[in-house]
């Protein structure tokens, strides 16, 4: 199944909300990974490639190092479900996100997040990632959205402070800075321990 393909059995049903999505997940196998995008359950590639996981770990670690240096209550976490209060038909799983220690009462989805990052893969098309980016930007606490390639050295950074205009980084020594988190790293640092390093 492609990342944007709808399940045939759900074609004529109304868009799912969080409650229906959680019931849907209960009926699926534990080895399946799903997101709810615009009311449609979307199966994610499982398992993610090693390169995908390494890039995610590199980003998570560097973000946490920066946040800990500031004694912040925020922390970065991988593969986390996110919620936007007024968008019940959108329950994604970000590859990396920054949330805070008081992340709300929802046991499945963080209700406040300050950064969302997606690592491109064969199962998440540009259309799919663009839809997620638009929703992430609508969250009032979200400050940055990162989209990181795993096929070449490339990252996009979309920032609220920049009017959600995307900046593209392609040179290994390009410096990515997220001042709200005290974060700064070279593009190549996100690819440490991969064949793109």
Contacts of 60 by beta carbon, 8 Å cutoff, 6+ apart: 76, 77, 78, 96
Quick one: average pLDDT of 75-93? 89
User: Could you tell me the two tokens for 120?
Assistant: 């491109």
Task: Categorize the per-residue pLDDT at 4 as very low, low, confident or very high, splitting at 50, 70 and 90.
Answer: very low
What pLDDT sits at residue 2?
Answer: 36
List the chain domain ranges: 8-43, 50-191
Assess contact for 115 and 63: CB atoms under 8 A: yes
Contacts of 11 by beta carbon, 8 Å cutoff, 6+ apart: none
User: Could you tell me the two tokens for 140?
Assistant: 């009032």
pTM: 0.85
What pLDDT sits at residue 1?
Answer: 30
Spatial distance between the Cα atoms of 69 and 90, rounded to a whole number of angstroms: 33
Spatial distance between the Cα atoms of 147 and 130, rounded to a whole number of angstroms: 10
Task: Categorize the per-residue pLDDT at 11 as very low, low, confident or very high, splitting at 50, 70 and 90.
Answer: low
Contacts of 150 by beta carbon, 8 Å cutoff, 6+ apart: 49, 51, 52, 55, 119, 120, 121, 194
> Chain-centre distance of CA 29, in angstroms?
22
Which tens digit of pLDDT belongs to each residue from 35-59? 778 878 877 766 788 999 999 999 9
According to CATH, the topology of domain 50-191 is tt1808, chain A (3.90.1570)
Quick one: average pLDDT of 75-95? 89
């Amino acid at each position: 199944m492609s990342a944007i393909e709808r399940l045939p059995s759900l074609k004529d049903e109304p868009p799912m909300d969080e409650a229906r999505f959680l019931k849907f997940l209960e009926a699926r196998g534990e080895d399946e990974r799903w997101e709810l995008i615009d009311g449609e359950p979307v199966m994610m590639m499982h398992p993610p490639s090693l390169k995908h996981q390494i890039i995610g770990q590199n980003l998570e670690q560097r973000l946490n190092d920066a946040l800990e240096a500031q004694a912040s209550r925020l922390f970065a976490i991988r593969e986390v479900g996110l919620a936007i209060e007024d968008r019940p038909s959108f329950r994604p799983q970000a590859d990396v996100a920054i949330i805070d220690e008081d992340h709300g009462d929802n046991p499945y989805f963080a209700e406040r997040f300050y950064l969302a990052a997606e690592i491109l893969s064969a199962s998440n098309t540009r259309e799919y990632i663009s839809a997620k980016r638009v929703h992430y930007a609508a969250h009032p606490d979200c400050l940055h959205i990162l989209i990181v390639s795993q096929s070449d050295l490339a990252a996009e950074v979309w920032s609220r402070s920049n009017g959600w205009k995307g900046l593209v980084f392609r040179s290994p020594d390009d410096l990515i800075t997220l001042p709200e988190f005290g974060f700064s790293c070279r593009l190549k640092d996100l690819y440490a321990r991969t064949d793109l390093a």
